[in-house]
Structure 1
Amino acid sequence: MIGDENPKHETKSPPPISSDVAVVDDRIMAVATQAASSTPISQLNVTKSSRVHIGPKFISVTQTVRNTEEIKGQILGQELISSKSTRKLRCSIAVFVCWTLIVTLGLGFYISHYALSKLTRLDLDIHEPWYLRRSDWQAMSPYSVDFLDLPLSFVIVGHSATNYCTEKYECIKEMLDVQKSHLHRGWQDIGPNFLVSGNGIVFEGRGANVFGAMAIAWNRRSILIMFLGDYTKDKTTPVQFEHLNIVLDQLVKQGVLRPDYTLYGQCQVASLTISPGPNVIRELHNLKHWSSENSSLCLRG
């Protein structure tokens, strides 16, 4: 009222705070928080705010972050505690892997360069019309193959005591007959490492580095050579010894024979034996490294 000494001012009181509705913005966040803490709220409506997370969502995010940090801390603590032992273990594994690799490579090199070379029939690299390999005379496959421990110190010479031949295809037939005979005896293949015909054809028998069969107790430490024919009556020819010397030189060159090897007739190392026959024994001096020791013991047939 005008002129009143103590005019009455109308004061508007704030609206009562509802127990189920609150208006929250950036300015009254603290008030709303205080009210929420003092008065139970069964329902909350939020408007005009991007900073409020409601209930379980806020608590869940907080809990997830907390749990993640705790797990990271635990893992970090374990790594710090076990770092020394882990480094030692890793070093040990690295050393083991390196040594395993070195041993594997070394073993592979040995197998490829040494072991496998003994598991195949050695070719003498002679390319002459008078030298026939197994495939040239159509040799039958052996029952088994046993390889020699090279180099060898001896050469033993014998004869087949079968038909004498001087023509290529006739001699091939003779070779097949000898092989069949030896297989029927229970041998694994034709007996000798090499055979030679009357006209100087040298046939590859078992081969240069294969364990042969002809002279008991000498087979595994010798190269075995057989003259085709019966040399108690058949005559030798100079070309037979000429070609055999070439083969023997090649055997030395390829490490099958020692350079100081010794050559004997079969009758010189086996008592009461005729092979290779007196006609061959008389001419063995034409072969390199022949020793006349015990030649007087050879039977003449």
Structure 2
Amino acid sequence: MSRLRAPLAWALLALLGLAAAQEGNQTCCGPIVPRREWNALPSVCQTKLSLPVDYVVVSHTAGSHCDTPALCGQQAQNVQHYHAQTLEFCDVAYNFLIGEDGLVYEGRGWELKGDHASRWNTKAIGITFMGNFMERSPAPRALRAAQSLIACGVALNVLSDDYVLKGHRDVQRTLSPGDRLYEIIRQWPHYQM
């Protein structure tokens, strides 16, 4: 039962819009579920990004979607396990994961280099949507969470004011972020092919 309380508390905070982006950080950012709340394994990553970065790369996990805090926390764990145990990355590949519950899940966070898009990892924040978005669009609350996260990055000065938004398929040979999500992000401000 206690494993359910933390995600439910974060969901309530998301609905109320009261949480800060990071502990001790008083900004206009929405809630970001910290690693400890989704029971992330400890990270062994050490390479820091040179901030602010100029790019955001949006992807999808192409796996199962999630639409509740309990399911999304479990899905974040599944993604981390695959990246760290199977692919032998130092942690989950992404800086942030977006659930269809409307919450943002902290991956490597704002400061650490990801493993989401070769040749772009050192200059981009990697944001992934948990699920497969080839034939369907993410829930509107997930899209809002991602847009809020990006605005937060600009407010925190970890993203340049004139950052460029790209889909994963713009920077690497892949179907990610899925046809439907790709159509959507191409309409967002700062998108460039």
TM-score by length of 1: 0.53
1:270 to 159, 166, 172: 172
Partner of 2:81: 180
CA shift, 1:286, in A, is 5.0
Residue deviations 1:235-281, cap 9 Å, x none?
3122222121221111112111110000000001113x100000101
Contact map agreement 1:164 1:234 (CA 8 A) in 2: no
Note the 1:1-301 alignment, pairs <5 A: 125=26, 131-184=32-85, 185-271=87-173, 273-291=174-192, 293=193
State the AA in 1 paired with 2:143: F
Partner of 2:12: none
Contact map agreement 1:215 1:266 (CA 8 A) in 2: yes
Measured on the aligned residues, the alpha-carbon RMSD in Å equals 1.9
CA shift, 1:125, in A, is 4.7
State the AA in 1 paired with 2:148: I
- Distance in 2 (CA, whole Å) between partners of 1:229 and 1:166 is 10
- Distance in 1 (CA, whole Å) between partners of 2:158 and 2:29 is 20
Aligned with 1:135: secondary structure? Answer: helix
Change (3 A) 1:193 1:275: same
Unaligned runs of 5+ in 1: 1-121, 294-301
Contact map agreement 1:130 1:200 (CA 8 A) in 2: no
Unaligned runs of 5+ in 2: 1-21
State the AA in 2 paired with 1:142: S
Count the aligned residue pairs: 170
Contact map agreement 1:241 1:286 (CA 8 A) in 2: no
Identity of aligned residues (%): 28
Task: Using CA pairs under 8 Å that are at least 6 residues apart, name the structure with larger relative contact order, 1 or 2.
Answer: 2
Aligned with 2:170: secondary structure? Answer: helix
Higher strand share: 2
State the AA in 2 paired with 1:163: S
Contact map agreement 2:45 2:112 (CA 8 A) in 1: no
CA shift, 1:163, in A, is 0.5
State the AA in 2 paired with 1:182: H
Change (3 A) 1:129 1:170: farther
State the AA in 2 paired with 1:280: L
- Distance in 2 (CA, whole Å) between partners of 1:192 and 1:131 is 14
Aligned with 1:236: secondary structure? Answer: coil
TM-score by length of 2: 0.81
CA shift, 1:216, in A, is 0.3
Aligned with 2:36: secondary structure? Answer: coil
- Distance in 1 (CA, whole Å) between partners of 2:69 and 2:129 is 15
CA shift, 1:156, in A, is 0.3
Aligned with 1:170: secondary structure? Answer: helix
- Distance in 2 (CA, whole Å) between partners of 1:165 and 1:188 is 24
Residue deviations 1:39-72, cap 9 Å, x none?
xxxxxxxxxxxxxxxxxxxxxxxxxxxxxxxxxx
Residue deviations 1:75-104, cap 9 Å, x none?
xxxxxxxxxxxxxxxxxxxxxxxxxxxxxx
